[in-house]
Amino acid sequence: MAQPHKTPVVFAPWENPTEKPLIEFKGVTKRFGDFTAIDNLTLNIYQREFFALLGPSGCGKTTLMRMLAGFEDPTEGAILLGGQDIVPVPPNKRPVNMMFQSYALFPHLSVWDNIAFGLRRSDMPRDQIGERVQEMLRLTRLESFAKRKPHQISGGQRQRVALARSLAKAPRLLLLDEPLGALDKKLRNETQFELMDIQEKTGTTFVIVTHDQEEAMTVASRIAVMDHGKLIQVDTPAGIYEAPNSVYVADFIGDVNIIEGNAKRIEGGIEIHYAEGAAPIRAMTDLDIADGQRVSYAIRPEKIAVSSEPLTDRANHARGKIIDIGYLGHLSSYFVTLGNGQKVEASMTNARRLSRRDFTWDDQVCLSWTDTAGVVLTR
């Protein structure tokens, strides 16, 4: 007899209309002189979320975070924490702690005293401070470094001290400003999982600022993609990657092929005529698109199969010539020029050893993909 399926508990408070958000930005605008850093922004962040603010430098993500910490005041609008306006509350009175990009460890204090700094300034009784510091040292695996000064430990250890210090006061909200930027790639990957683990253990709400899209995808429950002080899209990592709402988001996250063409309506979707003589691309979409409207079609390289003959089970086919192959170990990227000169990237997992690869430079190949593989975008 089949076991009854357990419904997995999906963490998605943003889909529950009765859930009260922990943080609410209400029409927040921030100007520095003539420059508008944040432009009439409204956003809710929920309890226990790991929320990532993602965007290029100068997009306003750091300003948004500094407003949560209290280092900047909004020019217009309100910021609510647990339903209360926190704009008039100075940074040293907010139940919010921040982990700084430079770590900002106090160089004249030991690791122990760095972690205890905030506790000594809280209403925690003196005799409990030692215990709490010890707990933080255990959580970040720093027990043996308690007596060292910040310059006596390595970069990765410093990063953990900064995390322990900002978590010590058990803030309702922890802000992380590019927390892993200074670490090398291997250490960064390890630390990302450590961060997620700690976030789960402590149940704290994390808001992370990063320009590294891979990092945001790995750690976050939701990602806000920002540009010029505005939110372009707020969604789960999968939502952002698979269903971007604009060319900007599609292009910012991961690799993508953008093909422009004129739409023609068909049953359940559209046909995109992108080149004279080439078969149109069939794409399913919910968008209401008029005949002849100019649209962009975004498709990820891994959704396109490279083969010598068309794969008949897929709706879309295009012929072209391989002009370049990028070998990345676990996968190979094929750069193919279609008949109209359009360049398309397709990637295939290297399930077999390289010596038995099927295609090489200048080979004529066929690209195939389904009618749901790509996304139709109008902006």
CB nearer to other proteins: give 71 or 361.
Answer: 71
Amino acid at 8: P
Q: How far is the CB of 187 from other proteins (least distance, A)?
A: 9
| Nearest distance from C-beta of residue 148 to other proteins, angstroms | 8
Grouping H, G, I as helix, E, B as strand and the rest as coil, residue 349 is strand
Using the contact rule CB under 8 A, the part of the chain among 150-158, 188-196, 240-248, 313-321 near other proteins is 150-158
What is the CB neighbour count within 10 angstroms for residue 324? Answer: 12
Instruction: Compute the distance between CA of residue 30 and CA of residue 67 in angstroms, rounded to an integer.
Output: 9
**Cα(178)–Cα(276) distance, rounded to whole angstroms?**
47
Task: Measure the CA–CA gap between 325 and 191, rounded to whole angstroms.
Answer: 32
Stretch of 97-105, 222-230, 239-247, 283-291 contacting other proteins, by CB under 8 A:
97-105
Residues 276-295 touching other proteins, rule: CB under 8 A, are none
Report the greatest alpha carbon distance in the chain: 80
Q: Which residue from 42, 75, 128, 152 is in contact with other proteins, where contact means CB under 8 A?
A: 152
Q: How far is the CB of 154 from other proteins (least distance, A)?
A: 3
Q: Which residues contact residue 165 at a Cβ distance below 8 angstroms, ignoring those fewer than 6 apart?
A: 99, 105, 114, 115, 117, 118, 136
96 binds other proteins (CB under 8 A): yes
Per-residue x/- mask for other proteins, residues 179 to 218, rule CB under 8 A? ----------------------------------------
Q: How far is 86 from 299, CA to CA, in rounded Å?
A: 43
Q: How far is CA 204 from CA 159, 188, 290, in A?
A: 18, 21, 47
The single residue among 29, 40, 47, 157 that binds other proteins, judged by CB under 8 A, is 157
- Identity at 261, one-letter amino acid code: G
**Phi-psi map region of 318: left, alpha, beta (phi>0 left; psi -120 to 50 alpha):** beta
Residue with Cβ nearer other proteins (154 or 340): 154
Residues 44-83: x/- map of binding to other proteins (CB under 8 A)? -------------------------xxx------------
DSSP 8-state symbol, 172: S
Q: Which stretch binds other proteins (CB under 8 A): 54-62, 85-93, 131-139, 345-353?
A: 85-93
Considering only 5-13, 146-154, 226-234, 309-317, which stretch makes contact with other proteins by CB under 8 A? 146-154
- The span of 88-96, 125-133, 267-275, 315-323 binding other proteins (CB under 8 A) equals 88-96
Q: Choose one: 54-62, 81-89, 96-104, 224-232; the region binding other proteins (CB under 8 A).
A: 96-104
Helices marked H in the chain: 61-69, 111-120, 126-139, 155-167, 185-202, 213-219, 237-242, 247-252
Contact between 42 and other proteins per CB under 8 A: no
Rounded-to-integer distance, Cα 256 and Cα 122, Å: 49
Kindly list the residues in this chain that would bind other proteins in the complex (CB under 8 A): 69-71, 90-93, 96-98, 100-102, 104, 106-108, 117-118, 121-122, 148-149, 151-157, 165-166, 169
